[in-house]
Structures are given as C-alpha cells and as structure tokens.
C-alpha cells in the first residue's frame, strides 16, 4: 500500500534528498581518490623492483615452480 507524502514530510535537505546525493558523491569521490593514491604508491614501489630470470627455458606456462627461476636484483 503506497501512502501519500505530506508536504511537511518533504524536504530538500533530508538525507534522501539533496544532502544524501552530496554525501554519496563525496563518499564515492573519496574512495576513488584513495584507490588512486594507493595505486600510484604501488606503481612507484614496483617500478624499482627489478628481477632477473635465471633460466628462461625452464619456465612453465602455469606453474607455481616458476618463482624458483627468478631472483630480485637490488
């Protein structure tokens, strides 16, 4: 049963109105900014993380033993 909304219940500044839209927008933009900062930090750290492959002919297509064939160079 749908009920009619009274004029006293309508509000532009209710949480489901204008302020709710602003809260949702600010929340989504802050999540976006946080993830962008984290991704930039990870990219900067991994850009200097150089590794060397010891035996390229011994690599398998999908194997957990592939980590034995490379070493980090620092």
Q: Give the torsion through C-alpha atoms of 54, 56, 62, 68, to 10 deg.
A: -10
Q: Count how many domains the chain has.
A: 1
Considering the domain boundaries, does residue 2 fall inside one? Answer: no
pLDDT of residue 9: 65
Share of the chain above pLDDT 70, in %: 78
In a domain, residue 68? The reply is yes
Label residue 69 exposed, middle or buried (CB < 10 Å: 0-12, 13-18, 19+). Answer: middle
What mean pLDDT do residues 37-66 have?
87
pTM: 0.57
Q: What length does the chain have? A: 74
Residue 5: inside a domain: no
How confident is residue 68, by pLDDT bands cut at 50, 70 and 90?
confident
In a domain, 3, yes or no: no
Residue 47, in any domain of the structure: yes
pLDDT score, position 20? 80
Q: Which domain holds residue 65?
A: 10-73
Q: What would the pLDDT profile of 3-38 be if each residue is shown by its tens digit?
A: 676 766 666 556 667 778 888 899 999 999 999 999
- Is residue 29 included in any domain, yes or no? yes
């Amino acid at each position: 049963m749908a009920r009619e909304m009274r004029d006293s219940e309508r509000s532009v500044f209710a949480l489901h109105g204008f302020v709710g839209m602003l809260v949702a927008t600010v929340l989504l933009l802050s999540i976006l900014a946080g993830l962008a900062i984290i991704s930039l930090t990870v990219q900067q750290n991994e850009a200097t993380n150089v590794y060397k492959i010891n035996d390229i002919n011994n690599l398998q297509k999908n194997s957990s033993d592939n980590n034995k064939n490379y070493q980090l160079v620092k």
